[in-house]
Amino acid sequence: MNSDSYADMLSRWPYQSGKVLARVVPSEDAGERIQVRVEFGILQMETGGHPEGAVPVYESLDAGAQGLDGATCLALQREAALYAYRAFILSVLERHDGVVRDMTRNLAVMSMIIRLAEGDEDRARAHSLTVQFLTIQARSRAAFAAARGDYGLARGTLESDLEEIRNALRRAGRGHDVDHAPEIQLLEGMRDMFVPRLPSSQRQEMEERLAAAIDVENYELAAILRNELRQLF
């Protein structure tokens, strides 16, 4: 691409401060690439594999490695940051399957560092990053289900992911106040968005039916109504 055509592209896609501008465009090999408009130009990434098209450090490591020195751990964590940035852009583009793919890969990298790192600081950093990557993955897993209209699956996914993140927080040394961690509060707020709400008149009607069922000792119906109220409110 010559400088004139690049300048024309920039003028047709102006930068907007404070707004993430991203798109997917065809690539020369009949595939796709991600483009992100930044202040002084356009950042381009691959949609799959290494974001920069390089040979990934993690995938090139010997499967039988017995230990990871500090330099290797740092290279793995920097590479994971590239995948996390692409995941962020993919979430903006609502390509949640790509986010889950990249975070699954990053979590495998962190697990490897935790198992094989020679230094305690590298393991501690990997535990901390695990919490971040689990949170990103959980949001996209739920959003992917919600986009298909399956809000029950979205809630169930978040419930199971929340428990996994609580455990990860404890392993990262943040177990003193897990339920007030920002990651937990963020995902609980998202989960609550997927809880169906009935108008107050319908809730009152269900509560009256529950009271009537108890009065006539129809405990089976009462249990069903109580369970429905618990799920809906």
Q: What is the pLDDT of residues 102-146, one digit of tens each?
A: 999 999 999 999 999 999 999 999 999 999 999 999 999 999 998
For residue 17, report the phi and psi dihedrals to the nearest 5 degrees. Answer: -60, 135
Pairwise CA distance, residues 65 & 46, whole Å? 28
Pairwise CA distance, residues 154 & 15, whole Å? 34
Fill in the DSSP letter of residue 196.
Answer: -
Length of the chain counted residue by residue: 233
Q: Please, are residues 68 and 58 in contact by the beta-carbon 8 Å criterion? A: no
For residue 117, report the phi and psi dihedrals to the nearest 5 degrees. Answer: -60, 140
What pLDDT does residue 127 have? 97
Provide mean pLDDT across the span 2-12: 78
Q: pLDDT grade, residue 2 (50/70/90)?
A: low
With a cut of 90, say whether residue 219 has pLDDT above it: no
Pairwise CA distance, residues 223 & 16, whole Å? 55
What pLDDT does residue 94 have? 92
Q: What is the pLDDT of residues 157-197, one digit of tens each?
A: 999 999 999 999 999 999 898 989 999 999 999 888 887 65
Q: pLDDT grade, residue 224 (50/70/90)?
A: low
What pLDDT does residue 32 have? 93
With a cut of 60, say whether residue 4 has pLDDT above it: no
Q: ∠ at Cα 6 (4, 7), nearest 5°?
A: 65
Pairwise CA distance, residues 100 & 91, whole Å? 10
Provide mean pLDDT across the span 12-25: 92
Instruction: Say what the pTM is.
Output: 0.80
Neighbours of 127 (CB within 10 A): 19
For residue 22, the Cα-to-chain-centroid distance in whole angstroms is 18
What pLDDT does residue 52 have? 95
Q: Please, are residues 20 and 92 in contact by the beta-carbon 8 Å criterion? A: yes
